[in-house]
Amino acid sequence: MYMYKIFLFVTVLVLASCKNEGPLMVTAELPGAFDGTRAIISKIGADNTPIAVDTVIIQSEQFSTELKSPQIPELYILTLNGVRGNTLFVADDGPIDMIIYKDSIRASKMNGGEQNEVLMDYMNHIKEYQKKSQGIKQKMMNPQNRSNQALVAQNQAELMMLNDADFTYRKQLIEDHPKAIANLLNISDMVTLKSAPIKEIKTLYESLSTEVKESNIASTLSNRINSMAATEIGNKAPDFSAPTPNGDELALYDALGKYTIVDFWASWCKPCRIENPNVVRLYNKYHDKGLNILGVSLDRPGHKDKWLQAIEDDSLTWQHISNLQHWKDPIVKKYNIRGIPATLLLDENGVIIEKNLRGKALENKLAQLFAGQ
């Protein structure tokens, strides 16, 4: 398993759009909720940070409140104190009515205009897709099925058909509802799931209405897409620099060889440390022929000693840099790194020729590149 930064799936990028000048009325029925339970309504600000805007006390299994009508699209998340999960709504041109189920908050229902209809349709699609996908994957993990090549092929074909149908639905939702705020969630999930090449996803994003793309959270998604597009295979790697262990500033383009591996890792990343002996072996084999490696560490602030100790313990004799900012490192953001170990393989001009090769795959690629040398 790789070390992944935790990200929310399907619960973080729904926005709200409202044209009303006056307050937005939100009412809810909460069957089974205890009187006195607090309902907390938050909106998502910059960088997907939730900001609490209202706290309501539930009385007689219901509540109502007024929110300030947003002038730009905003995401609202409702949580119940002491209850796991959340529910989402899109602020449209009229009041919002909800039925919130205390024991299954994500199954809550809402009524509040076309924006919420599209959102509910999308959320229902996701639930059905996940249910079917998990069913197929469970069959694929069955030891008896795994030993039957015909069943393996059948399950793989079934999963491929499901994924194709999912992508078709997503594209159609964007085509039919370019003004729907829910499509920001749709596209965000497409990026996470790698449903299509990033260039195609970028085209779908650009087909959304101007109003949708002008929201603050849309710009966050846009930045993520642009970052991924810039680091696709065939593009020139964006330059960067950071301090070396000695405190000198080293830039990517000053570290290039005939071929260069940019290795995102950290002393705390167990899979990275497990992979290091293989990378050391390949470096020793090909360095004299032109292979360079630049290690980019995601070690935490104040942990320079752990970074340096890992370099020594693993015999990583190539060049290293780190801002010691963990996941907040600007290089990590520029390259949209979501998990480590992560690697890029560059040619002598800094063009990305492969990504995330490890183990035998990396060995085979380097043998191909250095064949005859």
Contact 16, 73 (CB under 8 A): yes
Query: For every one of its 373 residues, what pLDDT tens digit does the chain have, with 9 covering 90 and above?
Result: 333 333 333 433 333 333 445 688 999 999 988 889 999 998 877 677 788 889 999 999 999 999 887 666 577 888 998 888 888 887 776 788 989 988 888 788 888 878 888 988 999 999 999 999 999 988 888 877 777 888 888 888 999 999 999 999 999 999 999 999 899 999 999 998 888 999 999 999 999 999 888 876 788 899 889 888 888 999 999 999 999 999 999 999 999 999 999 999 999 999 999 999 999 999 999 999 999 999 999 999 999 999 999 999 999 999 999 999 999 999 998 998 989 999 999 999 999 999 999 999 999 999 999 986 6
Of 2.40.10.10, 3.50.50.60, 2.60.40.10, 3.40.50.300, which CATH number belongs to 3-113?
Answer: 2.60.40.10
Q: Cα(267)–Cα(190) distance, rounded to whole angstroms? A: 31
Q: Taking the model in full, what pTM does it have?
A: 0.73
What is the pairing mode between strands 319-321 and 291-297? parallel
Q: Cα(345)–Cα(285) distance, rounded to whole angstroms? A: 16
Q: Is domain 241-369 in CATH 3.40.30.10, yes or no?
A: yes
Give me the helices (H) in the chain, please.
114-141, 143-146, 149-176, 182-193, 198-206, 210-213, 216-230, 270-286, 304-313, 330-334, 359-369
Look up tokens 């340096």; give the residue: 308
Nearest to 227 by CA among 253, 201, 208, 250: 201
Q: Give buried/exposed letters for 352-368 (b at 16+ CB in 10 A, else e).
A: bebeebbeeebbebbee
